[in-house]
Chain A
Amino acid sequence: MNVSGERTFAAPRTAVWKVLNDPAAMAKTMPGVQSFDVHDAARWTANVKIPLGLGGLKMQIDMNKTEEREPEFAKLQIKGKGVGAMLNMETSFELSDADGGTAMKWAAEVKLAGPVGSMGQRVLQPIVNQQVEHVLSALDREVQAAVAGGS
């Protein structure tokens, strides 16, 4: 499943970049994060419980930043495994200045295997869209908090 979009933040690009690369800040944007471990600047692990309607899906998610051009582009390889699902995702975002703020283009290729994967796109797509919206809204809040905290 491929998902992509664009979002504008009322914040300078460096502030957005900083949040996007701060594991602690990002942890707050992700749905159902129960714990978060930072191994080094490029590798993080999160234990999450993704709300999927029927009790949620527990997963251990390993993130590995595979490419980075500060402060405009990064690509992450994400692998998750849990009972009933295996997740493979490659996601990237690209930041640019826009009207005093920052525009972020993002894209993700999501591959789900296991019984959850069998639910198929017709079921998963709306859930993914909903979760992405939650993440982006939370990200916006984190960016604003970072800007406010830094000013």
Chain B
Amino acid sequence: MTSTTITPERVESDAPEATQKGQSVPRKEDRRLVQGEGVFIDDVKRHGMGYIHFVRSPYAHAHITSIDVSKAEALPGVYGTLTGEEVASLTEPFFQLAKAPASNLQDYALAVGKVRYVGESIVAVVAETRELARDASELVEIEYDPIAPIVDARMAQGDAPVLHDEAGTNVMWEGSFEWGDLDAAFAEADKVIKIDELHFHRFNSTPLETDGALAEYNRGTGQWTVHCNNQFPGFAAIMMGPALRCGLDKLRFVTQDIGGGFGNKITTHPQLVVCCLLARKLRRPVQWTEWRTDFHMSMSHANERWFLDTEVAVKNDGTLLGFRTKALDDTGAWLRYEPLGCIIWSQVAPGMYRWRNIRVDFTQVATNKAPCSPNRGYSRMQHLWFTERVIDIVAHELDLDPVEVRKLNYVRSDEMPYETPNGCVYDSGDYARMLDIGLELVDYANIDARRADAKARGKLLGLGIGSTLDSGTNNFAQSQLINSDLQFSGNNEVATVKLDIFGEIVVTLGTVPQGQGHETPTSQVVSDILGCSVDDVQVRAGHDSYWNSHAGFSGTYASQFAVTGLGAVKGAADMLASQIKRLGSAVLGAPIEALELAEGSVRIKDNPEVALPFMACGAIINANNAGLPDDLEDVTLNCRYVYKPSFQVPDLERNFGNLTLTYATQIHVAVIEVDPETGYYDIVDYAAVDDCGKRINPRIVEGQVMGATALALGAATWEIYAYDEDGNLLTPNFYDYHVPHALDMPPLKTADIESPSPFTPLGTKGMGEGGGAGIHAICAAVQDALRGNGDAIVSDSHNPYHKVWELLEHPAEAGGHVSVVNA
């Protein structure tokens, strides 16, 4: 039995015999965070700095006919402005990942000549206070000539107004994916289920901290220092360097504490470029902290997606043979990370199921809405929701038990590692066992009795299941599947571990933690390797590109820290351990094999009293190194390791290859009770079962599961970015965009299994993006509750109470349209 104590100054674990890995060590960073001593971007101040406010478009689509900043600039206290015309002369358009014609987009940091969504930045105003900058922005006079907007992706083609004349079309990417033998699958089928339309709505994750930056320009060196909360500086750098016409050595990115990212904070490069230009133009540091409404209006929504004309080939017993669908993705006005979403989904092409025959015709279009970019579960969430929806609709139409259909079709544990039809490899897992655990947690055995009890109380009880395959550690070569000219592949991450002069163990990470608690599992891994306590390991907070502990893909995104981040940490710690032993061998006069690292020293295993403390090791190498043997010349006790997973470039002709390294899993089971009079529903029971391989810190994993569940329940019931026909965002603030808080959350029951990944250094899998499971669990529970009460088909991922009422009152009109054809 392991117990853990917390003192005011130190976090200690009294588990000397056990490894620190696998222990719920309290998070080291929480002490400063709960005491209000964290350093977030708005805490970074500089003498004489100016505050930025962005003037944003009130129109979804309009030509800008004139801009006059003279009145704003004349206001006392205003330091200056920046317009799109200036940006166009001072920078290059951002590099586009898309192939032609979308590669022709002229994307600048501020709108040039035209606005394409409500909230698009047009002018930046800098003043001595944030409030003055905001007031001054109202003096900027802009004339517009409105154009008809496109707000429905289904209407974006044909005669629709074109957002980007340079592209000549609103289609940003299109392509077909086909694996297996569709004709044979449909020939073998007993039934074909046809689903006209499924819709995954537009929403987002909500970080506590909005985006922001403080930019400084050193005129002597020509270097910018960008204190920011961007979560993927590697990506920001390759976008910003060419745009600013400078080498990446001129861009220093610094972060410390970040109040949540969820992918949203990957694509802040346009705003960061504005900050850089203004810092140079005004010869003073400039600070930008995004207003919450601006975040809602303009910052990287999650992709909205339709699945049209879906056909599913099934046997009478529910065996899934294949499906084909037309995916239509709404990416908003710009391609800030897109069209990568057009391929990311295929990491989980068959979902958790043994589908071998799949065809997806994928089209991504631009609309007059905020640009999309990664959001927790990026692109896979939409597709996994689709596969789960198909399962329940098949079960509904064939009058089968959704539980049994799942179990019949799940990829089995004895098939792991499992190669999907498109060449991805599911590394490990036991989906059926996880489902059983989830069902047991919600007392599925007595569900009929509970249904009857609810009915007696005038309520409709429904049970729903959802699942997420949380694919982590991208093979960036998948980008070549959407544009073969791109030269990205593989993945990497960096860590340094050093033993300093007085024996301090100091770790720097290339990752960019946003609340995940990287400092703690890092310390656990290092302490196990170096034989010291967790508290002896000092992990630098945040990220700084001056540390030289970063590589091209450094950042924290796409469920990979436990693999890439900790893989780098392990590699660097192993190197350091080796060097300490070599030094110990020379000093103690013992062979390396006879040494061990324990209790903060290198010592002889059979005679532990003969030991060289780390303090002595650090001092010898760093400050007292005369007379050391020549063969220790390379011993620096300062070890840098680049972790690179083993990947190949996919077969571009067949769209075939391994796109990601690990597959964590979450299965959620929801039980709801619907009031048939109003459509209001309560979640009366909820279970989330997680499998992320080897867990380094179970409590942190648990927190991720809970957070992902909150994301899911918010999206399922309340959170939507709704636009009116003119392109006005109708939910630009917390009044209309309700994010669940503690009181909205049902009691959660959680459980886990561990299926260590055979492909990663620690058996871990990246995790944290399991929210999609909950979105579908609610959809399925609603549909189950409506069984026998109109039998509506739930065809939308967003089901607020009024929508459920519509499904009850008008099942044919409000629900999805499905037909069954005997094959």
Q: Point out residues on A near B: beta carbons under 8 Å.
A: 83, 85-86, 88, 111-115, 117-121
**Interface residue stretch chosen among B19-27, B281-289, B414-422, B726-734:** B726-734
CA–CA, A111 to B726, complex, Å?
7
Between B293, B726, B728, B730, the greatest number of chain A beta carbons within 10 A of the residue's beta carbon is seen for B728
Tell me which residues across on chain A come within 8 A of B144, comparing CB atoms: 86
Tell me which residues across on chain A come within 8 A of B59, comparing CB atoms: 86, 113
Q: What's the nearest-Cβ distance from chain A to residue B512, in Å? A: 32
Q: What's the nearest-Cβ distance from chain B to residue A51, in Å? A: 20
Tell me which residues across on chain A come within 8 A of B729, comparing CB atoms: 118
- B275 contacts chain A at the CB level, 8 A cutoff: no
- B168 contacts chain A at the CB level, 8 A cutoff: no
Q: Are A117 and B138 in contact, with the CB atoms below 8 A?
A: no
- A113-B118, A115-B293, A118-B732 given as contacts; is B58 within 8 A of A86 (CB)? yes
Q: What's the nearest-Cβ distance from chain B to residue A22, in Å? A: 30
Q: Are A113 and B293 in contact, with the CB atoms below 8 A?
A: no
For the complex of A and B, the 3 pairs showing the least CB-CB separation, nearest first, are A114-B58, A117-B728, A113-B58
CA–CA, A112 to B60, complex, Å?
11
Tell me which residues across on chain A come within 8 A of B731, comparing CB atoms: 118
Q: Are B726 and A113 in contact, with the CB atoms below 8 A?
A: yes
Interface size for chain B: under 10, 10 to 19, 20 to 34, or 35 or more residues? Answer: 10 to 19
CA–CA, A88 to B724, complex, Å?
15
Q: List 15 A-B contacts (CB under 8 A).
A: A88-B146, A111-B146, A113-B58, A113-B59, A113-B118, A113-B726, A113-B728, A114-B118, A115-B58, A117-B58, A117-B118, A117-B724, A117-B726, A120-B728, A120-B736
Tell me which residues across on chain B come within 8 A of A114, comparing CB atoms: 58, 118
- A113-B60, A114-B58, A115-B293 given as contacts; is B138 within 8 A of A83 (CB)? yes
Closest residue on chain A to residue B146 by CB atoms: A88
Tell me which residues across on chain A come within 8 A of B58, comparing CB atoms: 85-86, 113-115, 117
Q: What's the nearest-Cβ distance from chain A to residue B114, in Å? A: 15
Q: Point out residues on B near A: beta carbons under 8 Å.
A: 58-60, 118, 138, 144, 146, 293, 724, 726, 728-732, 736
Tell me which residues across on chain B come within 8 A of A120, comparing CB atoms: 724, 728, 730, 736
Tell me which residues across on chain B come within 8 A of A118, comparing CB atoms: 118, 728-732
Q: Which of B724, B726, B732 contacts A115, CB < 8 Å?
A: B732
Q: What's the nearest-Cβ distance from chain A to residue B808, in Å? A: 21
Tell me which residues across on chain A come within 8 A of B726, comparing CB atoms: 111-113, 117
CA–CA, A119 to B118, complex, Å?
13
Tell me which residues across on chain A come within 8 A of B730, comparing CB atoms: 118-120
Q: Are A121 and B60 in contact, with the CB atoms below 8 A?
A: no
CA–CA, A117 to B57, complex, Å?
12
Q: What's the nearest-Cβ distance from chain B to residue A92, in Å? A: 19
CA–CA, A112 to B144, complex, Å?
14
Q: What's the nearest-Cβ distance from chain B to residue A70, in Å? A: 30
Q: Are A121 and B724 in contact, with the CB atoms below 8 A?
A: yes
CA–CA, A70 to B592, complex, Å?
105
Tell me which residues across on chain A come within 8 A of B118, comparing CB atoms: 113-114, 117-118
Closest residue on chain A to residue B143 by CB atoms: A81
Between A85, A88, A111, the greatest number of chain B beta carbons within 10 A of the residue's beta carbon is seen for A111
Tell me which residues across on chain A come within 8 A of B724, comparing CB atoms: 117, 120-121
CA–CA, A113 to B59, complex, Å?
6
Closest residue on chain A to residue B296 by CB atoms: A118
Closest residue on chain B to residue A110 by CB atoms: B726
Closest residue on chain B to residue A119 by CB atoms: B730
CA–CA, A112 to B59, complex, Å?
9
Tell me which residues across on chain A come within 8 A of B293, comparing CB atoms: 115
Between A88, A114, A117, A121, the greatest number of chain B beta carbons within 10 A of the residue's beta carbon is seen for A117
CA–CA, A120 to B118, complex, Å?
14
Between B58, B59, B726, B730, the greatest number of chain A beta carbons within 10 A of the residue's beta carbon is seen for B58
Tell me which residues across on chain B come within 8 A of A111, comparing CB atoms: 146, 726
Closest residue on chain B to residue A111 by CB atoms: B726
Tell me which residues across on chain B come within 8 A of A83, comparing CB atoms: 138
Tell me which residues across on chain B come within 8 A of A113, comparing CB atoms: 58-60, 118, 146, 726, 728
CA–CA, A111 to B118, complex, Å?
13
CA–CA, A73 to B296, complex, Å?
43
Q: What's the nearest-Cβ distance from chain B to residue A150, in Å? A: 41
Q: What's the nearest-Cβ distance from chain B to residue A62, in Å? A: 12
Tell me which residues across on chain B come within 8 A of A86, comparing CB atoms: 58-59, 144
CA–CA, A86 to B726, complex, Å?
12
CA–CA, A34 to B274, complex, Å?
39
Q: What's the nearest-Cβ distance from chain A to residue B333, in Å? A: 15
Known: A85-B58, A113-B59, A118-B728; 7 extra A-B contacts, CB below 8 A, are: A113-B58, A115-B293, A117-B118, A118-B730, A118-B732, A120-B724, A120-B730
Closest residue on chain B to residue A88 by CB atoms: B146
Q: What's the nearest-Cβ distance from chain A to residue B219, in Å? A: 37
Tell me which residues across on chain A come within 8 A of B732, comparing CB atoms: 115, 118
Closest residue on chain A to residue B297 by CB atoms: A118
CA–CA, A13 to B821, complex, Å?
64
Tell me which residues across on chain B come within 8 A of A121, comparing CB atoms: 724
Tell me which residues across on chain B come within 8 A of A115, comparing CB atoms: 58, 293, 732
CA–CA, A114 to B144, complex, Å?
13
Q: What's the nearest-Cβ distance from chain B to residue A135, in Å? A: 23
CA–CA, A119 to B722, complex, Å?
11
CA–CA, A114 to B731, complex, Å?
13
Closest residue on chain B to residue A83 by CB atoms: B138
CA–CA, A85 to B58, complex, Å?
7
Closest residue on chain B to residue A85 by CB atoms: B58
Q: What's the nearest-Cβ distance from chain A to residue B501, in Å? A: 57
Tell me which residues across on chain A come within 8 A of B146, comparing CB atoms: 88, 111, 113
Q: What's the nearest-Cβ distance from chain B to residue A84, in Å? A: 8
CA–CA, A119 to B731, complex, Å?
8
Q: What's the nearest-Cβ distance from chain B to residue A93, in Å? A: 23
Q: What's the nearest-Cβ distance from chain A to residue B133, in Å? A: 15
Q: What's the nearest-Cβ distance from chain A to residue B511, in Å? A: 37
Q: What's the nearest-Cβ distance from chain A to residue B368, in Å? A: 11
CA–CA, A111 to B146, complex, Å?
11
CA–CA, A111 to B721, complex, Å?
19
CA–CA, A118 to B731, complex, Å?
7
Closest residue on chain A to residue B135 by CB atoms: A83
CA–CA, A30 to B731, complex, Å?
30
Q: What's the nearest-Cβ distance from chain B to residue A24, in Å? A: 28
CA–CA, A115 to B138, complex, Å?
13
CA–CA, A112 to B58, complex, Å?
9
Q: Are A112 and B138 in contact, with the CB atoms below 8 A?
A: no
Q: What's the nearest-Cβ distance from chain B to residue A79, in Å? A: 10
Closest residue on chain A to residue B62 by CB atoms: A113
CA–CA, A50 to B724, complex, Å?
22
Q: What's the nearest-Cβ distance from chain A to residue B113, in Å? A: 18
Q: What's the nearest-Cβ distance from chain A to residue B60, in Å? A: 7
CA–CA, A55 to B728, complex, Å?
22
CA–CA, A114 to B122, complex, Å?
14
Closest residue on chain A to residue B722 by CB atoms: A120
Between A83, A112, A113, A118, the greatest number of chain B beta carbons within 10 A of the residue's beta carbon is seen for A118
Closest residue on chain A to residue B60 by CB atoms: A113
CA–CA, A88 to B61, complex, Å?
13
CA–CA, A86 to B64, complex, Å?
14
CA–CA, A61 to B729, complex, Å?
23
Closest residue on chain B to residue A114 by CB atoms: B58
Q: What's the nearest-Cβ distance from chain A to residue B350, in Å? A: 40
CA–CA, A121 to B724, complex, Å?
9
Between B60, B138, B730, the greatest number of chain A beta carbons within 10 A of the residue's beta carbon is seen for B730
Tell me which residues across on chain A come within 8 A of B138, comparing CB atoms: 83
CA–CA, A74 to B726, complex, Å?
25
